Chains A and B, each alone.
Chain A
Amino acid sequence: MDYFLQLCGALSGGLKYTVGLFAITIACSLPLGLALAFLRASGNRFVRGITGGYVWLMRGTPLLLQLFFFYFGLTFIPVIGKYLTMERFPAACVTFVLNYAAYFCEIFRGGLLSVDKGQHEAAKVLGFSRWQTTLRVVIPQMLRVALPPVTNEAITLVKDTALVTAIGVTEVLYFAKSAVNRDVNVLAYVVAAVFYLVMTYGLTQLFKYLEKRFSF
Chain B
Amino acid sequence: MEMLRAAGLCKSFGEDVVLENVDFSVEKGETVAVIGYSGSGKSTMLRCLIDLERADAGDIIVEGEYLMKGGVYAPEVEKRRICARMGMVFQSFNLFPHVNVLNNLIYAPMYVKKEPKAQAVARAREQLTLVGLADKADAMPNSLSGGQKQRVAIARALMMQPDVLLFDEPTSSLDPQLTGEVLAVMKKLAAQRMTMVVVTHEMGFAKEAADRVVFMGDHGILEQGTPAEMFGAPKDPRVKNFISSIL
Known: A132-B111, A136-B111. A116 touches B160 (CB 8 A): no
A125 engages B50 (CB within 8 Å): yes
Main SS at interface, chain B: loop
B98 engages A216 (CB within 8 Å): yes
Complex: A144 Cα to B97 Cα, angstroms: 11
Name the interface residues of A193-214: CB closer than 8 Å to any CB of B: 214
Does residue A128 face the partner (Cβ distance < 8 Å to B)?
yes
The smallest beta-carbon distance between A142 and chain B, in angstroms, is: 10
Known: A125-B86, A141-B97, A141-B98. A216 touches B108 (CB 8 A): no
Q: List residues of chain B with CB within 8 A of the CB of A125.
A: 50, 52, 83, 86-88, 157
Q: Which range holds the interface residue count of chain A?
A: 10 to 19
B92 engages A127 (CB within 8 Å): no
A126 engages B156 (CB within 8 Å): yes
Complex: A182 Cα to B195 Cα, angstroms: 85
Q: List residues of chain B with CB within 8 A of the CB of A144.
A: 98
Name the interface residues of B87-103: CB closer than 8 Å to any CB of A: 87-88, 90, 92, 94-99
Known: A122-B96, A141-B98. A128 touches B108 (CB 8 A): yes
Known: A124-B52, A125-B52, A132-B112. A119 touches B94 (CB 8 A): yes
Q: List residues of chain A with CB within 8 A of the CB of B156.
A: 126
Does residue A20 face the partner (Cβ distance < 8 Å to B)?
no
Q: List residues of chain A with CB within 8 A of the CB of B83.
A: 125, 127
Name the interface residues of A117-150: CB closer than 8 Å to any CB of B: 118-119, 121-122, 124-129, 132, 136-137, 140-141, 144
Main SS at interface, chain A: helix
Known: A118-B94, A141-B97. A128 touches B112 (CB 8 A): yes
Q: List residues of chain A with CB within 8 A of the CB of B97.
A: 141, 216
Q: List residues of chain B with CB within 8 A of the CB of A116.
A: 94
Q: Which range holds the interface residue count of chain B?
A: 20 to 34
Q: List residues of chain B with CB within 8 A of the CB of A118.
A: 90, 92, 94
The smallest beta-carbon distance between B90 and chain A, in angstroms, is: 6
Q: List residues of chain B with CB within 8 A of the CB of A126.
A: 87, 107-108, 112, 156-157, 160
Of A116, A121, A140, A214, chain B has the most CB atoms within 10 Å of the CB of A121
Q: List residues of chain A with CB within 8 A of the CB of B111.
A: 128, 132, 136
Does residue B222 face the partner (Cβ distance < 8 Å to A)?
no
Q: Can you offer 14 A-B residue contacts whose CB atoms are under 8 A?
A: A121-B94, A122-B90, A122-B95, A124-B51, A126-B160, A127-B84, A127-B160, A128-B108, A129-B80, A136-B111, A137-B96, A141-B98, A144-B98, A216-B142
With A119-B94, A136-B107 already in contact, 16 other A-B pairs whose C-beta atoms are closer than 8 Å: A116-B94, A118-B94, A122-B95, A122-B96, A125-B87, A126-B107, A126-B108, A127-B83, A127-B84, A127-B108, A127-B113, A128-B108, A137-B96, A141-B97, A216-B98, A216-B142
Interface residues of B (CB under 8 A from A): 50-52, 80, 83-84, 86-88, 90, 92, 94-99, 107-108, 111-113, 140-142, 156-157, 160
